[in-house]
Structure formats: structure tokens, C-alpha cells
Structure 1
Amino acid sequence: MDSPSRRRTAARAAGALLAVPTAVAGCRLAGADAVTPVPQLLALLPWSAVPAVPALALATAARRPALVVWAAALLAVTVWLAQPYGPDTTRARGPVTARLTVLASNVEFSGATAELLAVIRRERPDLVFVSECDPGCVRLLATALPHRAEVAAPGPAGSVVLSARPLTPAPALPGTLGMPGATLRAGGKDVRLQLAHPLPPLPGRVAAWRRELAELRDFAAGYRGRSVVLAGDFNASQDHAAFRAVLDSGALHDSARIAGAARTGSWPQDGPLPPFAQIDHVLVSTDFAVRGARFLPVPRTDHRALLVELDLHALP
């Protein structure tokens, strides 16, 4: 590639490849979810490094040092940003007062109800947080776990928290989609359970998505220092500032991150590629230790389920 025209073409191609990933990485650095298409692209943040590789080769061939530095910097920054967010332990201490196994699943318009029921019977969780579960879905799943708190609604608006142990009702959080809550008595403590299911950040709905994640942030802040399990389909990953605010405001920990699975994708599992975005989470307060976390395939839904094993300690 010795001719000036070819070098110019290569330089323009490199710049085109770098423009969008640089904007996304810049918003992530600035802690801003910004506007469409940034929130959608932030779910793909680790993949932003991919266009930087051919861009680096093109910039080198074009003999443009500034472009070479730009591509190399984008690669380095993206790799750095892809590191797991938050501490790698809850530092819970004191004796273990209870053990809980928690399952979180989005059954996609109740289409995977029977398949999730099979998972529940196989894994025998103590608690199950189910999004997009209509009343018929709730009735079927309740054959495995008798105690529940639900928002009864058709389509994707219905959700339920199921338990093997009795629950005390708690107010649902406001939102377009159901977000029921309850309290579980375990290990001598009242453990506040809250299902999370804010709207997805679709074009035209980013403001509502941000507002509903703020409801979760305010909930977490209100229960800071108390025993909490906040679980479900957050429609947000660690690369979204609105999700990080939920973690930080309540001093909550992402179970998958603690278990070493911070970048394991949970969505979408029904496409031609493996799941690339982790938007399903089980967040816990500092008095929980995480013994393990597994993402489980569930047929007929676009989400993997997340199964987490927790120890509740006497002290945070």
C-alpha cells in the first residue's frame, strides 16, 4: 500500500472503524449512559475492541501515527474497562446462620414456564425470581414452591418471587413491568427480597429505563446495611452507569462477579451467537457470601437462568 490514495483510503477506513467504539468507551469512562444508541451499545462494550484490531492494521499500513495511537489506546482502554466491576468478595463474617439457593429467570412471555419448572425440580432452589410470568405461569410454578409474592398481570408485566419458606408481603416497586417484593425470615434475620425488571433501553424508552433503574437504586439505598437479595432481569450490565449506581447506593454485590463469572453472558441465548450481555443478576448485601453461581440454559426463552448459592452470615 504505497500509493498516497491507498493510504488515504486505509486511513479513512481506520477512522470509520474507530469512531463508534471510541464514543461508547468515552461514555463508559465518563459514567454516562447518554442517549440511543449508546445504552444499547454499552451492552456490547467488550466487543468494542474487535474493530480496533483491523483499524490498527489499516492505520499502520496508512503510515498514520496518530491513528495508530488512537487504535492502540482504544484497545487498551476497552480491555481495562472490561475488568469486573466492584470488589471480589463481600467480606461477610461470623457464623453462617442460613444457606439459600436463589434462581433468577426471565421466561419470555411465560413461554418457558414448563421448562423452568423442570429446572426448579432438578436444582431445588429455596427462592426463585421469575420475570414475564403471567398468572397461569405463577400457578404452574407454585406447584413446586408454595409461597409467593407476585404482581399478577398478563404478558411481560407479570412477575413473581417464589419461596420454599413462608414470606411476608412487601410493597412492589413502581414500574411498567411487575417488580414484587417480600421479606423472608432466615438465620434470625429479616431478608428483604426484591425482584428487578426495569424496561429495556429500547429507542424511545431510554428515559423510562433510566427512571426505573433509579427506582431500584433508591430501593437499594433505603435498605443499605440490611439483609437484601435483589434479583432478576435488570436489562442492564456492569457497563451501564445506571446499574452501577444500584450496586453502589446499597453496597450490594453482584453474585456472578464474586463467583468469577462477571462476563458470562445471559442474553440473548436464542440467537446465532452465544449470549454476549450479562443483564440477569442476583445482588446481595454484605452479610452474604457467595459459594457459587451458574448460568443455566432454559429452552424457549432468550435468557439464561442464574443459579446462586449463598451463605448468610451473622455479620457483614
Structure 2
Amino acid sequence: MIVLAVLALGFLEIAVMRLLGFDGNKVTAALIALTPYVTAAGLVLGGVSLALRHWWIGGIVLVVALALVGMLLPRTFASAQPAAHGAKLRVMSSNQYLGRADVQSIVRLVRENQVDVLNLLELTPREVTEFEQAGLFELLPYRVFKPVSGGAGSGIASRYPLTELSLAGPSRMKQPSARVDVHGTPVEVVAVHPIPPTTDADEWKKELAGLPKPDQHGAVRVLAGDFNSTVDHAAFRKVLGTGYTDAGLTTGSGFTSTWPSSFFPPPVTIDHVLVDPRVAVDSYRVLDVPDSDHHAVLAELTLP
């Protein structure tokens, strides 16, 4: 009875925070990222409690777990797309794991998938040289790179001409942005990489809040990168609430994990491609990148 009660209290604490939209501190923010696993554990705990005739524990836990299930299920269904008839744009984002990710594999993925815009996170000066030697800039000749040794560097490489912008707010890690001229259609792209909530939860919330909002009367905006956030985080849902569409969610791939590339800790979805509500998402895929702790994300878009 005592063990079940303690487990139930732990489950209810995280579940209620998720249901009420409260991320809390760095510990609770990390646990909220595991909401799908917490939900499964709640269903098992509720069932076991009822089987052992602990009716109040089992009933309460099961009701709350089912409420979470109702919030999670829509991620498996594709949603309606806007009527967009403009140019196609393929956007890929890859976290380079402190510059350790296999450069040749990235170049191969760009070539095979005809990527137009590539956002690179944790980009180092050494890796920039390796990309040049591997022929990336023959495929994507335009770039706005902010390489830094360690994990703070980022960059944008493009098939189309770029104009550097400053769209993201202050952040500890580089979040470069640029205007991409896609056959005369301007698209503003941000390489997103806020600090993880496990480092500083308050700073993480500020950096997410500092991302630019979509501008329905201006250029199309695309945010792609390592958000260090899942859809279960209230701070991330606030970004979506400004009007962006998550490419993974809108194609029914909301449960496809992007980090870590191994099986521990439990895989979660923290890499995203967010698009202007006027943009249609034609396809979305998660791709393996050797020697990185993240998978790359690729979205094919139709511009308005």
C-alpha cells in the first residue's frame, strides 16, 4: 500500500504539472519530457492498484493517465494543410554533437534528399573545414556560419542566396538567422538551439520566448533545430501558440524521437521544424546521422 501510494504521488505530480502547463525547474522539466513514458507507467500503476483492490489509488491514477492519453493521441494523426501552391523548399536540421557527427554522411543526406537549406547545430571551426573538403559548399554554396569550439556554434547553409538577419533574442548558444531568396519568395530561417532546461530552466524559457513569431503579412518564417524541448513542455507550446505548425505533428509523426540516438536515456522528440501557418508540409522524416547523439530532421515544404 505504501509503495503504491508513493509511486502514485510521483506520477500525479508530473502528470498534473503537464496537464496544467507548468514546466517548473530543471528536474521537473526533464521529467515532463518523458510524459509518454510517464503515461504508460500510470496506466500500468493504475491497473495494478485496481487489481490489488486499492480502489482510490487505482481509480485516481487511471483517470489522470487516461487524460494524458487523450492529450497524446492526436500526435499520431496527420492534420489539415493550408492550400499552398508556391515553390518547394526542403529544410534539414542536424545537431553535430560537439562537431563529432560524420560530415560525409551529412553531405550524402543533403545530396540524396536534394536539401535546399541546412541548419547545423553544435558546429565547430574544424567541422567547417571538413564540410568544405567534403563538398558541402558545392551543393549549398551560400552560408551564414557562427562556428564555435564546443557546443555553442551553429550555421545555415543554402542552395539559394542568403542575407544575414538577427531574428532570435539573446542566447548563450548561437542562433543565426537569414533571409533565403527562393525563386523570388523570401523565407526567413532561424537555426534554433536554446540552452537545455537541465542547465538553466529559467534561461531556457527566456530563449524560447525570444524566438521570432510568424508574420502573416511578411516573409515566410521557418524555425528549425534542436529546441531542447518536446511538445509536452509548456514553453515550447507557447512558441507553437504564436501560430507555427510543427512539421512532425502535422504529418502524424509526433512520437518519432530525435534524441538520443541510443536507447538511454529514453528517446524523446526535441528537434523540430516549425513553419509559418501559410506553408504546407508535404513530408517529414527523421534521419540517422552516424557519430551524432541526435537524428537529423527533414521537412519538404510548399511555400504560399
Output the TM-score relative to the length of structure 2. 0.90
Distance 1:243 1:256 in 2: 14
Distance 2:102 2:202 in 1: 31
What corresponds to 2:237 in structure 1? 244
Among 191, 194, 198, the residue aligned to 2:190? 194
Instruction: Answer yes or no: is 1:137 the counterpart of 2:127.
Output: yes
Among 84, 91, 94, the residue aligned to 1:105? 94
Tell me: CA distance 1:32–1:67, structure 2 relative to 1, closer, same or farther (3 Å).
Answer: same
My pick for the range that moved more, 84-93 or 165-174, is: 84-93
Tell me: CA distance 1:51–1:292, structure 2 relative to 1, closer, same or farther (3 Å).
Answer: same
Q: What is the letter of the counterpart of residue 89 of structure 1?
A: A
Distance 1:139 1:147 in 2: 15
What corresponds to 1:63 in structure 2? 53
SS state at 1:72 partner? helix
Measured after TM superposition, the shift of residue 187 of structure 1 is 4.7
Distance 1:168 1:17 in 2: 53
CA RMSD of aligned residues (A): 2.0
Gaps of 5+ in 1: 1-10
1:1-316 → structure 2 map (5 Å cutoff): 11-84=1-74, 88-93=79-84, 96-114=85-103, 115-142=105-132, 143-144=135-136, 145-171=140-166, 173=168, 174-203=170-199, 205-216=200-211, 219-220=212-213, 223-226=215-218, 227-249=220-242, 251-272=243-264, 276-313=267-304
Post-superposition CA distance 1:7-61 (Å, at most 9, x none): xxxx222222222221112111111111232100111101112332442244224
What corresponds to 1:3 in structure 2? none
Distance 2:159 2:277 in 1: 23
Post-superposition CA distance 1:268-292 (Å, at most 9, x none): 112357x621110011102211111
Distance 2:54 2:19 in 1: 26
Partners of 2:102 and 2:289 within 8 A in 1: no
Question: Which structure 1 residue ranges, 4+ long, deviate > 4 Å from structure 2?
Answer: none
Measured after TM superposition, the shift of residue 154 of structure 1 is 1.6
Partners of 2:245 and 2:274 within 8 A in 1: yes
Tell me: CA distance 1:33–1:296, structure 2 relative to 1, closer, same or farther (3 Å).
Answer: same
Output the TM-score relative to the length of structure 1. 0.87
Partners of 2:102 and 2:292 within 8 A in 1: no
- Taking every aligned residue pair, what percent have the same amino acid on both sides? 31
Partners of 1:128 and 1:163 within 8 A in 2: yes
Distance 1:58 1:147 in 2: 58
Partners of 1:167 and 1:183 within 8 A in 2: yes
Q: What is the letter of the counterpart of residue 39 of structure 1?
A: A
Distance 1:208 1:198 in 2: 9
Distance 1:244 1:35 in 2: 17
Tell me: CA distance 1:194–1:37, structure 2 relative to 1, closer, same or farther (3 Å).
Answer: same
SS state at 1:185 partner? strand
Gaps of 5+ in 2: none
Report the number of matched residues.
Answer: 295
